Structures are given as C-alpha cells and as structure tokens.
Structure 1
Amino acid sequence: MSNQFRSNKTDEEIESQVEDGILPEVNEKAEIPRNFFTLMFTEGVISKQAATDMLPFIIFIAFLGMIYIGNRHFAENNIRDIDKLGKEVKELSWDFKTLKADLMLKSTQTEVAKEVDTLGLLEPNEPPKKIVITEGEFK
C-alpha cells in the first residue's frame, strides 16, 4: 500500500480498508420512508415554505369545522327542546279540554240547582214578570 492520496478508489479497496481497520466505518444516512406526506414535502409538490404560508388557511378551515360542529350540536338541542315543548303543549291541551268539559257539565241548570239546594236556595216556579214604566212614573 502506498502513501499516496488516490481519489479514484474502487469499492473493493474501500471495503478492504474498512475491514482492516484503516478507514473508519461510515454510516449511511437513514433513508426517508416514501409515503404520501414525505413525497409531497421533499419532491417539490409542496415545499416547507408553501406549507408554512398555508398554515393560516388551515387554521381557518379548522376553525370553520369547529363552528360547524358546534352549530350542529346547538341545532340538535333546539330540536330536542321543541319536541319537549310540543309534548307539553299537547298535555296542556288535553288538560284544558278536560277542565272545559267539567265546567260545561257543572254549569248546566240541573247541576247548579243541586249545588244551590244545599245552601237552601230554591229554583223559582213562576216565570219572571216584566216591569213596565211609563214616562211620568219615574220622576
């Protein structure tokens, strides 16, 4: 082996020197896995600068997504409240109709006569009389 610097060494000479311990072993850089995102960022489809420039837009889209989700929850809660109030209105309508029917029954002449009879009041048997006033009597 000579003491000269040779730039055109073959791979076999370099491997033999590494095995003999003359040259230190050079670790190759780890290869970047080839997937969608690494291809997009490394091969120029989207550069790091372009991705950084798009960050405000991406944040804006995420914000709109959160507003959309919140709006959906708000609408579903409103629908539940409307259904609950609709059921309550139906129930109150039934109560109103029941009370109205009871009142109509209790306000008939026979029912009133039964209730008043306990107080000692009687139904008049003779028809009402018409009172006629002439012009000169009232003064």
Structure 2
Amino acid sequence: MSQNTFKKKLKAGNSPKGGPRKTIFTWMEEKLDVTRILGEGVPVQFVPPVAFLTLLALLYIYSNHRAESMVRKIEKAQQEVEDIRADVTTLEAEYMQSSMQSEVAKRVAQYELYELNQPPVKIDLKK
C-alpha cells in the first residue's frame, strides 16, 4: 500500500506545467513591447491622467450611444404617431360620410322608415 503525501502547492504566477502563467497582460506586454516604449516600468505620474482620459472617453462613447438610441426611439414614435393620425383622419371621414342624411336614410330603409317629403304640421289644441 502507498503512503499519503502532500501535494506541492503552485506558486503564484506559475502554471501547472511549470512555466510562468500567461495572462492577457503578459500577452499584451509581449506583443506591444512596452519595455522598449516606456523603459523598465510605467511612470506612476502618468497613470492618473491616462485613467482620467480613459474614463472621459468611455463616458463620451456611452453618451453618444444613448443619444443615438434615443433618436431611434423618437423616430419610431413619430412614425407611429403619423400612422395613428392617418387612421384617425380616415375614421373621421368615414364617420362624417355615414352621418349624412342620405346615408342614414339608406340604412333605415330596411326597417321601413322613410324620409318625409312634406314639412311637419303643427297641431294646435284649444283648452
């Protein structure tokens, strides 16, 4: 029977294969060759202004995106209003047409109600 042993703990920054772990930052450092551009390290005095400018750029992009989204919503709402306005105009015209005396007379003819051809007569009662 074999004996129990402790596993060896991995050091931070090392992969299980034994070499240094590759992260996105090490990949960027290799591809961009940051040490050639900045020297041995990033000057700390440049970090706050660069971070501030990055924040402003992200805020600008977000604001622009929201504005374009709002413009699309407004245009969609305007198109819906135009469609509804056209429907209302059509319905009003149909209502006005159907409420004309000649149209009403045609519709009530099926109930044997006809239009009077002579003026009404006033009946006077004496007390």
TM-score range, shorter-chain basis? 0.5 to 0.7
1:104, CA displacement in angstroms?
Answer: 1.4
- The equivalent residue for 2:78 is 86
- The equivalent residue for 1:95 is 87
CA distance in 2, matches of 1:37, 1:131: 112
Segment of structure 1 superposing worse, 70-79 or 117-126 = 117-126
- The equivalent residue for 2:115 is 123
Structure 1 residue ranges without an equivalent (≥5): 1-32
Identify which of 45, 54, 77 aligns with 1:53: 45
Instruction: Check if 1:73 corresponds to 2:68.
Output: no
* Number of residue equivalences: 92
CA distance in 2, matches of 1:115, 1:97: 23
Letter of the 2:104 counterpart? V
Matched-pair identity in %? 35
Distance 1:36 1:129, change over 3 A: farther
The alignment's C-alpha RMSD in Å is: 3.0
Distance 1:74 1:121, change over 3 A: same
Runs of 4+ in 1 over 3 A off after TM superposition: 128-132
Q: Deviations over 1:36-57 (max 9, x none)?
A: 834xx58xxxx96xx3123122
Structure 2 residue ranges without an equivalent (≥5): 1-32
Q: TM-score, normalised by structure 2?
A: 0.59
| Bigger Rg, which one | 1
CA distance in 1, matches of 2:51, 2:76: 38
Instruction: Check if 1:107 corresponds to 2:112.
Output: no
1:69, CA displacement in angstroms?
Answer: 0.3
